[in-house]
Amino acid sequence: MIFFSDRMENVVNQNGEENTRFGVYWSVCCGVEIVLAEGMTFPHCPNHPKLTTYWKSVADEKIPRAVDLTRITKKKDGDPAV
Ligand SMILES: [Zn+2]
């Protein structure tokens, strides 16, 4: 697990940094997903423009994310089985 978290730290990008790899990125603060082409600059999170925004590549994320779980829960809103 320590190995994995170390690896994850390496793929965090900060707003203002240049993207070196085309892909889908999500904000650590609230999970907003963006598609960013190579050479573009990482933006601020649209929900938190005053904060430093960290972006992680979806492609590098191999474990279920809390964001996804929240999303699934919302989709099943009203389902008594939850
Ligand atoms: Zn945010």
Domain that holds residue 55: 2-75
- Cα 31 to Cα 66, 79, 82: the distances in Å are 9, 24, 22
Q: Is residue 16 part of a domain?
A: yes
Q: Is residue 22 part of a domain?
A: yes
Q: Is residue 40 part of a domain?
A: yes
Q: What is the mean pLDDT of the chain?
A: 80
Q: Is residue 80 part of a domain?
A: no
By percentage, how much of the chain surpasses pLDDT 90?
A: 55
Distance 32 CA to ligand 1 centre (A): 7
Q: Is the pLDDT of residue 34 over 70?
A: yes
Give the chain's domain count.
1
Q: Is residue 81 part of a domain?
A: no
Distance 80 CA to ligand 1 centre (A): 30
**How wide is the angle at C-alpha 19 spanned by C-alphas 17 and 21, nearest 5°?**
155
Whole-structure pTM value: 0.62
Which pLDDT belongs to residue 18? 97
Res. 75 pLDDT band, cuts 50 70 90: low
Q: Is residue 25 part of a domain?
A: yes
Paired sense of beta strands 33-36 and 23-27, if any: antiparallel
CA-based end-to-end distance of the chain: 29
Res. 82 pLDDT band, cuts 50 70 90: low
